[in-house]
Amino acid sequence: MDSPSAKKVNLILVGSTGQGKSTLGNFLLKPDMDHLWEEKDRTFQVGEDRFSCTQQCAVSTSADGSVTIMDTPGLNESHEKDLGYMINVVKTAHVLGSVHAVILVMKTESRMDQTYKDTVLYYQKLFGADTFAANLVIVHPDFKKSSKKYKGHPDKIQRILQQSSEDVQNLLGLKDAPPVRCLNSLPETDQELKEQLTERQQILQFARANLAAAPLAGLRVPKTEAVKAKHSKEIARKEATQAQLTDQKAQRMKIPDSARERLDSINHEIKEQKSEMERLNKHLAAYDTDELVEVACVPKVVRAGMGKVFEFHLRSPVTIRDVTYSTWDTASYSETFRSDREVHGSFERGLGRLFHSGTLWVKAWGIKREYFAEIIATLKGSLNEVKQHLRRAYDEKMSLEKEYANGLDLPDVKCLEQQIAEVESEIKRLSEPFFASIEEAEREAQEMLQSKL
């Protein structure tokens, strides 16, 4: 098993049905041959051929606690329409909490068909493009080095791996091609097991090199197309109600039309400025922290070859707090110089392990607050402007309310204002692309289920 001091990592497995996600998950959690023969030793149940045993998400942790894996179901036609399915995925992601690496699982010579593309794009949308791209790796879980079709044909497997990497890069619109690893999740001999343990360790080291795990606790349930259509109709009804209430309020207010229109305009401005202040504070909270963030990276594309040296000069705009690198065991890493803001060194390719496509890289990590100092200053400046706008708007509102107190303090006017505010709040909720909470999504799912009965 892994070293007791090994950094704990969280992984998400993604891929269409029948690609070997559950089998790979079992091997990453319990790297032995027991799960090959004994079903009771399988953490994740394995389906046969194209039939999936993974109907819902599952999270499991290795016996030593160093590896936690979220196994996701493959996509079928109903999932994009199934709100209950989305709720399950998001709830499971909340249990995981954060992710160090997203593993796209694909059998070695499988074609990236439309089902696979739909599955990958679906989860990219669900988890967010940033989370998906943060630490992505493709794994072929059924690679047998001893297979006759690969012996003497190193160029064949190289082409397959390079094609996998480029296909995923193009599908997801990534800046860099993701790395690709090969292993056999079902080793049948002690020698095969020994070789696969090395590959497993490389995958885990890649994940551990990510010092800024993507948070999943704030993940929200997206509204399905069916929910959006339903909410669109409700919004139309609410807007009609809002117009009626606003008209009633105008008839009851005993103040000039110009003053009433100005008050309505001020109230609208206050609502928009408060919304903007909420947005700015949210962004500020994300940047103004002591968390680590990648501040510089030097990637080196791996091609077949040996004895090659790649020199790098890493420069950071802020103080470097830590440095991580990935060699995939295809090169040795060495540093020749390091200062607060620079790291110089080289990757040297040796013999062996030439069949893995992807990149070697070295990354510098710094404090978010320091790296995003300019953005933070801009956000704080914008917040001050918003606060000034709000103060002026509130002052003008108080002045008008004081001047026309007799016409505004009528009980029925206050009641109508409260009703209008409630309708506006409901319209805003219905217009959001995501549910505000799991509970709201579950209530919606229950309502839709009952409407079909």
Residue 436 CA to residue 444 CA, distance in Å, equals: 12
Residue 421 CA to residue 411 CA, distance in Å, equals: 16
End-to-end CA distance of the chain: 51
9-14 and 67-71 as β-strands: parallel, antiparallel, unpaired? parallel
Q: Which helix (H) or strand (E) holds 352?
A: none
Assess contact for 317 and 367: CB atoms under 8 A. Answer: no
For the residues 21-25, what does the mean pLDDT come to?
A: 90
**Is residue 35 included in any domain, yes or no?**
yes
C-alpha dihedral over 442, 448, 451, 453, to 10 degrees? -80
Same-domain check for residues 367 and 387: no
Number of structural domains found in the chain: 3
- DSSP assignment, residue 213? P
Where does a domain end: 351, 371, 391? 371
Residues with Cβ within 8 Å of residue 378, at least 6 apart in sequence: none
Same-domain check for residues 242 and 153: no
Q: Is the pLDDT of residue 50 over 50?
A: no
Q: Is the pLDDT of residue 17 over 90?
A: no
Q: Please state, rounded to an integer, the average pLDDT across all residues of the chain.
A: 85
Q: Is the pLDDT of residue 2 over 70?
A: no
For the residues 332-346, what does the mean pLDDT come to?
A: 95
pLDDT band of residue 153 (cuts 50, 70, 90) is low
Q: Is the pLDDT of residue 78 over 60?
A: no
Same-domain check for residues 398 and 443: yes
Assess contact for 330 and 302: CB atoms under 8 A. Answer: yes
Assess contact for 225 and 81: CB atoms under 8 A. Answer: yes
Question: Most confidently modeled of 243-252, 300-309, 399-408?
Answer: 243-252
Which residue is listed with tokens 């190289």? 158
Decide: residue 158, CB within 10 A, 0-12 exposed, 13-18 middle, 19+ buried.
middle
**Is residue 183 included in any domain, yes or no?**
yes
Assess contact for 62 and 49: CB atoms under 8 A. Answer: no
Q: Is the pLDDT of residue 235 over 80?
A: yes
Residues with Cβ within 8 Å of residue 173, at least 6 apart in sequence: none
pLDDT for the residue numbered 449? 82
For the residues 248-267, what does the mean pLDDT come to?
A: 87
Higher pLDDT, 194 or 393: 393
For the residues 198-206, what does the mean pLDDT come to?
A: 90
Q: Which two tokens stand for residue 303?
A: 């091609």
Q: Is the pLDDT of residue 120 over 60?
A: yes
**322-331 b/e (C-beta count within 10 Å ≥ 16 → b):** ebbbbbbebb
214-215 and 292-302 as β-strands: parallel, antiparallel, unpaired? unpaired
Q: What percent of the chain clears pLDDT 90, i.e. is strictly above it?
A: 47
Which of 80-84, 179-183, 238-242 is predicted least confidently?
80-84
Q: CA triplet 272, 238, 441: central angle to 5 degrees?
A: 85
Same-domain check for residues 300 and 414: no
Q: Which two tokens stand for residue 171?
A: 């599908």
Residue 403 CA to residue 94 CA, distance in Å, equals: 52
pLDDT band of residue 51 (cuts 50, 70, 90) is very low
Residue 52 CA to residue 35 CA, distance in Å, equals: 17
**Is residue 3 included in any domain, yes or no?**
no
**Is residue 223 included in any domain, yes or no?**
no
pLDDT for the residue numbered 255? 84
Residue 357 CA to residue 106 CA, distance in Å, equals: 15
3-state per-residue secondary structure call for 147-205: CCCCCCCHHHHHHHHHHHHHHHHHHHCCCCCCCEEECECCCCCHHHHHHHHHHHHHHHH
Assess contact for 214 and 129: CB atoms under 8 A. Answer: no
Same-domain check for residues 248 and 333: no
pLDDT for the residue numbered 4? 56
For the residues 182-197, what does the mean pLDDT come to?
A: 86
Same-domain check for residues 367 and 378: no
Residue 254 CA to residue 180 CA, distance in Å, equals: 72
For the residues 285-312, what does the mean pLDDT come to?
A: 83
pLDDT band of residue 273 (cuts 50, 70, 90) is very high
Where does a domain end: 318, 350, 371? 371
Host domain of residue 132: 9-215
pLDDT for the residue numbered 186? 87
Same-domain check for residues 327 and 281: no
Q: Which amino acid is at 293?
A: V
For the residues 112-136, what does the mean pLDDT come to?
A: 85
Which residue is listed with tokens 């669109």? 232
**Is residue 206 included in any domain, yes or no?**
yes
Q: What percent of the chain clears pLDDT 70, i.e. is strictly above it?
A: 86
Q: Is the pLDDT of residue 281 over 70?
A: yes
pLDDT for the residue numbered 76? 62
Assess contact for 130 and 173: CB atoms under 8 A. Answer: no
Supply φ then ψ for residue 309, to 5 degrees: -120, 130
pLDDT for the residue numbered 371? 98
Q: Is the pLDDT of residue 433 over 60?
A: yes
Residue 285 CA to residue 4 CA, distance in Å, equals: 34
Same-domain check for residues 173 and 66: yes
101-105 and 136-140 as β-strands: parallel, antiparallel, unpaired? parallel
Same-domain check for residues 159 and 74: yes
For the residues 79-101, what does the mean pLDDT come to?
A: 86
For the residues 195-214, what does the mean pLDDT come to?
A: 90
pLDDT for the residue numbered 48? 45
Same-domain check for residues 363 and 388: no
Q: Which amino acid is at 325?
A: Y
**Is residue 248 included in any domain, yes or no?**
yes
Task: Indicate which CATH number applies to the domain containing 123.
Answer: 3.40.50.300
Residue 31 CA to residue 14 CA, distance in Å, equals: 20
Same-domain check for residues 426 and 283: yes
DSSP letter for each residue of 37-65: H-GGG-SS----TT--S--S-EEEE-TTS
**Is residue 246 included in any domain, yes or no?**
yes
Q: Across-strand partners of 446?
A: none
**Is residue 221 included in any domain, yes or no?**
no
Same-domain check for residues 58 and 158: yes
pLDDT band of residue 384 (cuts 50, 70, 90) is very high
Q: Is the pLDDT of residue 358 over 70?
A: no
Where does a domain end: 371, 398, 420? 371
Residue 389 CA to residue 276 CA, distance in Å, equals: 11
